[in-house]
Structure 1
């Protein structure tokens, strides 16, 4: 675990990258930011979490770190011990966790539940969608109070790394570590700016969409877009299934997970 602390005093804000070793965007964003030697208005801690998995180019060494929290210092697995150490490092801080995905090219955020911290931060991030995970948060870092997880783009892409950097900066501005952007400041690329800068659409996960053993998988619907009853959703080895009820797909992809295609969600409102 590689840790940078900027500013004087005890940090109440932290940024975590490389929870998964095959998602380098967070590490790249942190290193880019630290290399700039920025002046900060309040202290912040930046953490590259799973260095071993990152160096190996693997999602994890022994188990998925983002299913291992809060961890145990005497765990038999590398990630179990690391989860405990990381939990101690971020204790008492508001956290941004940077990830990437195989399911969706544009950044979106996930939280355990929408609370006051979510409402104060997420409308200031360059995202269009926010997902409340609820009972699906077990073992994930977002179970830690005041944590926002952002999927920054497609796994391994240059776009995800660039997005992660600008999301990091937006988060640090929203939490008072950096000053608020002013006219004339360098801005993120146009592709990262939300189409509607006045609101973030909020979804709540309802259920998983199971995926049985097969050689080939396909999906026929788009993430965050309404699926009507009867619409074809996905197929395994050519055998397709359709929606029984209306839902919105989240983290839906052919090969992102071993045993599920992704999640079904409900659209529950907006944050302004």
Structure 2
């Protein structure tokens, strides 16, 4: 575990990347952010979590770290010990944990429940969707109070690393660690400019005005059998009606028993499930 601390005092905000070693986007984004030596208005802690798994380019060594919390400092299991140490480091902070996925290219947020902290932060992130885990978070860091997870994009893609960097900046702006950036042409900036409109757009990602996002809740796992080939026929966050085919495993077709929204649905993202069925529960703010 590699830890960077910026600013003076005890951090009340933390950023965690690469809990899974095959999801390097968080580590890359943290390293990029720290290398810029940013001025911070509140102290912050940035953590590259599972360095050993990251070095070996595997999800984990002994156990999925994001199923191992609260951990055990005396365990023989690497991830069990690491879960204890990481939990200690983020305790008492508003934490931001960065992941990537095989199921969806656009960033979205995951929370245990939409509490007051989540309500204040989620609309200021460059995401259109948030998911409540609804008791599907056993052993995950998200069970710690005031933790927001984000899926930054497709696993191992450059886009996910780029998204993760701007998600960090947006989160740290929302938590008053970073000042809101000045946008070219915005009121009160004296007509200053940045290098390009593209950079303008990226700066807006770092401190968006409150935007509306859809909130979904996980309802159940969608199991998949042992098979040689898998295929997903539905799109994440798009409604599936009862009776509609949503996946195949070899020659076996899977039909929806009830209306649902697919969440984290992918052919090979999980070993034993296609993903989750969920429902839309509202919007923020």
Q: TM-score range by the shorter chain?
A: over 0.9
Q: State TM-score, norm by structure 1.
A: 0.96
1:79 & 1:16 partners in 2: Cα distance? 15
Asked whether the equivalents of residues 16 and 46 of structure 2 are also in contact (C-alpha less than 8 Å), the reply is yes
Structure having the higher Rg = 2
Superposed displacement of residue 183, structure 1: 2.1
Rounded Cα–Cα distance in structure 2 between residues aligned with 1:133 and 1:187: 34
Aligned residue pairs: how many? 269
The verdict on how the C-alpha distance between 1:89 and 1:187 changes in structure 2, with shifts beyond 3 A counting, is farther
Structure 1 spans left out of the alignment, 5+ residues: none
Distance in 1, Cα, partners of 2:200 & 2:49: 28
Partner of 2:105: 105
Q: Which residue of 1 aligns with 2:224?
A: 211
Offset, 1:75: 1.3
Structure 1 residue 53 and structure 2 residue 53: aligned? yes
Secondary structure at the aligned position of 2:258 is classed as: coil
Equivalent residue number for residue 254 of structure 1:
267
Corresponding position of 1:235: 248
Distance 1:125 1:58 in 2: 29
Q: 3-state SS of the aligned residue for 1:264? A: strand
Shift in Å, 1:154? 0.2
Q: Deviations over 1:140-178 (max 9, x none)?
A: 010010000000000000000000000000000000000
Partners of 1:197 and 1:222 in 2: CA distance:
26
* Runs (5+) with no aligned partner, structure 2: 185-193
1:95 is paired with a residue of what secondary structure? Answer: strand
How do residues 85-100 of structure 1 correspond to structure 2 at under 5 angstroms? 85-100=85-100
User: How many Å apart are 1:189 and its aligned residue?
Assistant: 4.8
Partner Cα distance (2:140, 2:149) in 1: 10
Counterpart CA distance in 1 for 2:233 and 2:130 is: 22
Would you say the 8 A contact 2:124–2:211 is kept in 1? no
Match of 1:77 in 2: 77
CA distance in 1: counterparts of 2:61 and 2:276, whole angstroms:
26
* Partner Cα distance (2:200, 2:20) in 1: 28
User: 1:244 matched to which residue of 2?
Assistant: 257
Deviation string for 1:222-250 (max 9, x for gaps)? 00000011111101112111111110000
**Post-superposition CA distance 1:65-114 (Å, at most 9, x none):** 00000101011200000000000001100000000000000000000111
Q: Indicate if the aligned counterparts of 1:218 and 1:234 stay in contact, CA closer than 8 A.
A: yes
Structure 1: distance between partners of 2:54 and 2:48: 9
Using the size of structure 2 for normalisation, the TM-score is: 0.92
Give 1:199's match in structure 2, choosing from 209, 212, 226: 212
CA-atom RMSD in angstroms? 1.5
The more displaced of 147-156 and 176-185 is 176-185
- Paired position in structure 1 for 2:28: 28
What secondary structure sits across from 1:136 in the alignment? coil
Matches for 1:176-187 after TM superposition, within 5 Å? 176-184=176-184, 186-187=199-200
CA distance in 2, matches of 1:176, 1:109: 19
Q: Is the 8 A contact 1:211 1:260 kept in 2?
A: yes
